[in-house]
Amino acid sequence: MQELMTHSVLDMFGVSRPGEEPQICCAAPLSPEVTREVFGAECPTRADYEGAIDVMWDVIQDRGYGCYVVLYRDNVPDEIAFFGVTGD
């Protein structure tokens, strides 16, 4: 499997639904509670995301798992940020 994977967000084959147990090689949304805890807001901005670089990795379960969070600009969804840990 190591030779077949890119070890990047491209290796995420699907998306886990809110409230589901996160699955390997799937990106999972953060709950509102975790989003607030990690980014300091339920509707985080890019600045909130960049300010949480050191702590956001604590929500990753294990290698091969990813998370995503919607980032807002002027209280409107603007970007989707992915983060995770590769399988290697």
Q: Residue 67 pLDDT > 80, yes or no? A: yes
Q: Lowest-confidence range among 28-37, 50-59, 65-74?
A: 50-59
Burial (Cβ within 10 Å: 0-12, 13-18, ≥19) of residue 64? buried
Average pLDDT score, the chain:
80
Q: Lowest-confidence range among 10-19, 34-43, 75-84?
A: 10-19
- Determine the straight-line distance between the first and last CA of the chain, rounded to whole angstroms: 10
**Model's pTM, two decimal places?**
0.76
Q: Which amino acid does the sequence have at 77? A: P
Q: Which amino acid does the sequence have at 66? A: G
| Sign, Cα dihedral of 47, 50, 21, 17 | positive
